Chains A and B, each alone.
Chain A
Amino acid sequence: MAATAPGAEAALLHADAGAGFRRRFLDYLGWGFCGLAFVLLGGAMVWILTMVFLRGAHSISWTVLTHVTQGVGGGLLNAIEGTFLLAVGGILLAIPPGVAAAIYLAEFGTGKFAPVLRFLADVLVGVPSIVVGYFCYVTLVTDLGWKFSLAAGAIALAIIAVPYICRTSEMAIRQVPRSMREAAYGLGATDSKVALGICLPIAMPGVLTGILLALAIAVGETAPLIYTAGWSNYMWTGHFTNEPVGYLTYAIWAFITEPFASAHALAYAAALFVTMFVLIISVLARLALDENAGFRRRPGHGRDRIKFLHPR
């Protein structure tokens, strides 16, 4: 505080009439810039959403939902199914290590290993998704010989989702009041009973919110899947390896550059599905967090919202 006081003091010392006008002018200028910055961001958001919804609405039809892709036309049923399988598969793989790491960090994270694990998780969030994809390509697709497949794609998505699940769950478990743990330990409960029987159920809304957000991220990913899941025009036949699967984000990327109106329609329809799904999950997660905010969070303490953000 000592470092910042002189600024305000200097402003006060120069408060004569001419300077007063200048100060007011600078004030308007400053607020004007900040307001403009906000309007730019809000305007861009509206612009993107308008494009996705208008062009998407023109492109969807019953065929898109009920047919598989044929060349540059047909529908997106295969891609919808593939996106569902890849995202849900990836999240299911990511939940056990993510939640275990969260329990460890929140409940027993006093040793030397905990800060290292937390740091690695935070840095993993920042690793570009294409690097994760390439890693899975060289290890799973070529070295293990799985080819483009559901398993390789789901593992790539799991690596991307796991640090989110870990950090959001850790935050939720941390917010369980200390007295709950003390009461349970006082009654003779073991570590596992306290963590799994007391803390995890109480923190469940927060943990589920984190999982939902990770699902939204998984649904929106493209780069890690291009060389792990591949693309297929057909429905999944039940093989985890050696069978490529289609997914919606690929349709956006690949079909918009085709010179055919039918391909463009598929791209816009896929963009509409993906964007709507991601927005709905984000709004639901936000509502869930607001619901809890009343009694869990200190007023004005909003750091956990950072975890909302999609990093890629």
Chain B
Amino acid sequence: MKFRYIVAGLGSIVGIALIAIVVFLCIYAWPAVHFNGIKFLVENNWSLGNQYAEPIVKNGQQILPGENFGILFLIIGTLLSTAIAVLIAVPIGVGAALFLAEGVPPLFRSWLSFFVELLAAIPSVVYGLWGYAVVIPFLGGHVFPWTVQHLGFIPIFRGPAGSGYGLLTAGLVLALMIVPLITATVRDALVSQPRVLREGAVALGATRFEALRTVMLPSVRRVITGSTILATGRALGETMAVLMVSGNALNYLPSNIYTPISTMAAFIVSQLDSAMQDPTGMAVKSLAEVALVLCVISIIVNGCARILLYYQDRMTAGAV
């Protein structure tokens, strides 16, 4: 047998893993998909029903009386916390990338960049610990009361300020976790742009920052878009940090930015223990449906980002 077929066969496990994840989650979640229907996505009524009652049959599935699974609050919580994170992370990430690529002496550049990128190496649960033990007391005790008092005229900043667990805290911690992805990718793209671009702009009389803003930034636009989508994907699926700072809301939608929320990823961890108590298994299968929804969303998001970035790579490779 030819060597290349052996390595291709062994290597295809990498791809098969992804396909297996989707296929097995589909198969396992199928009874739940069938039972929940479209209500799964548009209602706020996750409930295991009466756990001490005899199981009944509904829609051809055996369930506990009163059992309902609607995860609209999870979808909203996931989307809102991700949106806050991305809105904060993109300007800061791009700004830091510009500073690291052009604003610091070359001698320190690589080590300063490395220091910032180490933020991406810190485990999610350590972010959660930091958020839980340090950030939440700080935000809940000092910052949120202040914003309620002084920014309360804006509806989403209106009180009650809560205890610090909630939407904005989750968004801030997520922002910090995804920023290094954006900074590193954009900085690398800026550094690898041909020097003549910037030199040409400066020769035409642009200041260094004008050269950056009008020539360098547009030339890496696609990288910024691609890395932003990748970062979005990471924020959507982030589990431990969100679990520890979001307040783990159940069945209600946020009314202001301090409201506790939950996300799909965090919900799977926080609910699996109680879902296992359901003797009909429908709760665990519905959690599999949550995982499936999350998986499909992240595959779409990451697929788009990768295609964009491949395209940019090919263009850069062609230009060099």
Contact = CB atoms under 8 A, between A and B. Distances in A.
A282 B125 CA distance: 17
Nearest to A158: B17
B87 interface: no
A30 B209 CA distance: 7
A251 B269 CA distance: 15
A55 B17 CA distance: 39
Interface stretch (B6-14, B38-46, B148-156): B6-14
A41 B119 contact: yes
A117 interface: yes
Interface residues of B, number: 108
A52 interface: yes
Chain A interface main SS type:
helix
A253 B241 CA distance: 9
Chain B interface main SS type:
helix
Q: Which of A31, A51, A125 has the most CB of B within 10 A?
A: A31
A47 B234 CA distance: 23
B204 to A, nearest CB: 5
A309 B180 CA distance: 8
Interface in B296-311: 298-299, 301-303, 305-306
B11 A101 contact: yes
Nearest to B19: A120
Nearest to B302: A126
B48 interface: no
A279 interface: yes
A122 interface: yes
Given A195-B3, A271-B126, A253 B207 contact: no
A201 interface: no
Contacts of B116: 38, 41-42, 45
Interface stretch (A21-29, A61-69, A233-241): A21-29
A275 interface: yes
Contacts of B9: 100
A308 B291 contact: no
A252 B128 CA distance: 9
B92 A40 contact: yes
Contacts of B207: 11, 23-24, 27
A39 to B, nearest CB: 9
A9 B204 contact: yes
A125 B165 CA distance: 29
Given A5-B201, A44-B176, 13 more contacts: A31-B209, A41-B92, A47-B134, A97-B14, A103-B11, A121-B15, A125-B302, A126-B237, A130-B268, A135-B21, A135-B24, A138-B25, A253-B125
- Please list the 3 inter-chain residue pairs (A to B) with the smallest Cβ-Cβ separation, ordered nearest first: A128-B237, A101-B11, A220-B123
Interface of A: 1, 3-5, 7-9, 11-12, 15, 23-24, 26-27, 30-31, 33-38, 40-42, 44-45, 47-48, 51-52, 55, 96-98, 100-105, 107-108, 113, 116-117, 119-132, 134-135, 137-139, 159, 162-163, 166, 190-192, 195, 216, 219-223, 226-227, 249, 252-253, 256-257, 267-268, 271, 274-275, 278-279, 282, 286, 290, 300-303, 305-306, 308-312
26 contacts: A1-B197, A8-B214, A41-B96, A52-B126, A97-B11, A100-B11, A108-B8, A119-B303, A122-B302, A126-B234, A126-B302, A127-B295, A128-B265, A129-B237, A131-B265, A135-B20, A137-B272, A138-B288, A166-B14, A221-B123, A302-B192, A306-B188, A308-B184, A309-B181, A310-B123, A312-B239
